[in-house]
Amino acid sequence: MKLPELPAELTDFKPEVGLILGSGLGFFADDRIEVVGRLPYGEIEDFPVSTVPGHAGQFVYGHLDGKRVLCMQGRFHFYEGYTMAQLTLPIRLMAQLGVHTIFVTNAAGGINRDYVPGDFMLLSDHINFLGTNPLIGNQSNDDTRFPDMSEVYDGALRAKIRERAKTEGVDLKEGVYLATTGPSFETPAEIRAFATFGADAVGMSTVPEAIVARQLGIRVIGISCITNAAAGISKEPLSHEEVSETADRVRPQFADLLAGAVALA
């Protein structure tokens, strides 16, 4: 796959850690990174542009706790109409830039009845319910065609993150994330089915990026912000507004959790 050219300022910066900031979580780049530069997606040849409110659509790079990080402020979703290849292109660019670890964040609905809006969940694993796979059609010779997915989310780094959360008295959940295409929210019957599959949370992102990152040998950590109870678990109808409101409310806690996790990478 031919990758677009990136400006020398970014390639020379040599990012080590990639952060994908999900719905309502893009503020992290402005609040916590000592910014060195920004690169709007529109300035990259053939790069998709995010269409969701709350997704600014640029790379922000700089320092966080002594690490060189590259943030995606705004990510792409399958429901926006992009191909799997388009929406995982940033991961291939990160790999080319030398990123060794990515933190993929998202907003998700809680299926597990122990979860309440505002909780954070470390992804222990995922279920790809997208009906497709980002590696379909990939015939390049230097990529693995059948990559192992037995441990998508790095166990050793997760253990350190859990340990740190415990020390700091943060109630960090850990569970299985199931990805649907969206953009409609799920029905209560779907959520009951997903619960029997073993899913703890549901969302519309993350899995394509995680699969491609693993194919490329990048270490992955996933963090969900549980923004709402999934359909049928809460009596209220679901809305994008509720998702944004919850993400906004837990900003400081999310920022502490993510910054703390990155420091351990």
Tokens of 253: 């806690």
Taking the least distance from each CB to ligand HPA, the nearer of 62 and 109 is: 109
Taking the least distance from each CB to ligand HPA, the nearer of 180 and 215 is: 180
100 is catalytic: no
Closest Cα to residue 215, out of 158, 133, 128? 133
228 is catalytic: yes
Whether 219 and 100 have beta carbons less than 8 Å apart is answered as yes
Residue of the chain from 228, 250, 257, 258 that contacts ligand HPA (CB under 6 A)? 228
DSSP letters for 92-111: HHHHHHT--EEEEEEEEEE-
- Mark the segment that binds ligand HPA (CB under 6 A) among 48-56, 107-115, 126-134, 211-219: 107-115
Tokens 């996790």 correspond to what residue? 261
CB of 193 to ligand HPA, least distance (A): 14
Taking the least distance from each CB to ligand HPA, the nearer of 229 and 258 is: 229
Q: At what angle do helices 155-167 and 251-263 cross, to 10 degrees?
A: 130
Residue of the chain from 102, 172, 238, 258 that contacts ligand HPA (CB under 6 A)? 238
79 is catalytic: yes
Which among 29, 204, 261, 265 is annotated as catalytic?
A: 204
Which among 55, 115, 190, 210 is annotated as catalytic?
A: 55
Residues of span 151-190 touching ligand HPA by CB under 6 A: 185-186
- Taking the C-alpha atoms of residue 165 and residue 73, their distance in angstroms, rounded to an integer, is 25
Cβ neighbour number for residue 69 with a 10 Å cutoff: 26
Contact call for residue 47 and ligand HPA (CB under 6 A): no
Closest Cα to residue 221, out of 15, 19, 85? 19
Taking the least distance from each CB to ligand HPA, the nearer of 15 and 22 is: 22
126 is catalytic: no
CB of 238 to ligand HPA, least distance (A): 5
Question: In Å, how far are 7, 89, 174, 205, 218 from 4, measured between CA atoms?
Answer: 10, 9, 36, 23, 20
Interface with ligand HPA by CB under 6 A: which residues? 107-109, 185-186, 202-204, 227-228, 230, 238, 243
